[in-house]
A and B are shown apart, each in its own frame.
Chain A
Amino acid sequence: MNTSEKKKLSIISFSGDFDKLVAAFTLASGSAAVNYEVNIFFTFWGLNAIKKKKGRSFTGKGALARIFGFLMGGVNNVPLSRLNFLGASPGLMTFLMRKRNVATLKELIEASIALNVNLYACEMSMHILGMTKDDFIPEIKSVIGVANFLQYSEGGDRIFI
């Protein structure tokens, strides 16, 4: 194996929209496959992609946070950024992706995990929503803030999705 210095890509996953998550995980898995070190920093709506409970559930601490947690849902509820049609479109899009043999969001997430993409949750957003690290999938490496993100992503490309 080539042990020379790795190129690095760090993605800030903010939106939590289905299509933007597909873009983030496509870039992440593709880059990891060609030997990039890849970091994804999930913040705000992006946290929906990494919740342990993939459907709607009252996660978080405090009544308001739990209502937000329910309304936001998990990775199975993420909406399309356009033409969402009351939540029907992500399912239709996944059907089309399968039909055309294109990797689904679930497959892209699994591939990213298999290729050791570093997944981080944003500490601030987590606190707003009254969540803890235990509310996220176990593959989340740690809960970090801006200073850590800057440190981990230093010397590579940073993109905001």
Chain B
Amino acid sequence: MVTKQLDITKEHCPMTFVKTKIELSRLQPGDLLEVLLTEGEPLENVPRSATEQGFRVLEIIHVKDDIHKITIEK
């Protein structure tokens, strides 16, 4: 099992969930992707689109200020 990190705190729509999807497509089932993202559009849409596509959002942790870390299992 592999755990990869992705920082999309500087990205905007649609690259927030585009980069997440591209990174997920490179992983094997069971691998984890930790995504650093900001509040607002990314925090609302990235976990939701991951769940809709059948991935599991394991946790969402507040890191600091408006930055959160979500862990997605492929």
Q: Is there an interface contact between A115 and B54, defined as CB atoms closer than 8 Å? A: no
B20 CB to closest chain A CB (Å) equals: 7
Q: Is there an interface contact between A101 and B10, defined as CB atoms closer than 8 Å? A: yes
Q: Which residues of A contact B14 (CB under 8 A)?
A: 26, 29-30, 33, 103, 111
Of A2, A26, A33, A101, the contact of B54 (CB 8 Å cutoff): A2
Asked if B67 is at the interface of the complex by the 8 Å CB criterion, the answer is no
A88 CB to closest chain B CB (Å) equals: 24
- Tally chain B residues at the interface, Cβ within 8 Å: 18
Asked if A86 is at the interface of the complex by the 8 Å CB criterion, the answer is no
Asked if A114 is at the interface of the complex by the 8 Å CB criterion, the answer is yes
B45 CB to closest chain A CB (Å) equals: 8
Mark contacts of B17-42 with chain A using CB atoms, 8 A cut-off: 1 yes-contact digit, 0 otherwise.
11111100100000000000000000
A26 CB to closest chain B CB (Å) equals: 6
Of A2, A30, A114, the contact of B22 (CB 8 Å cutoff): A114
Binding site for B on A (CB under 8 A): 1-3, 26, 29-30, 32-35, 100-103, 107, 111, 114-115
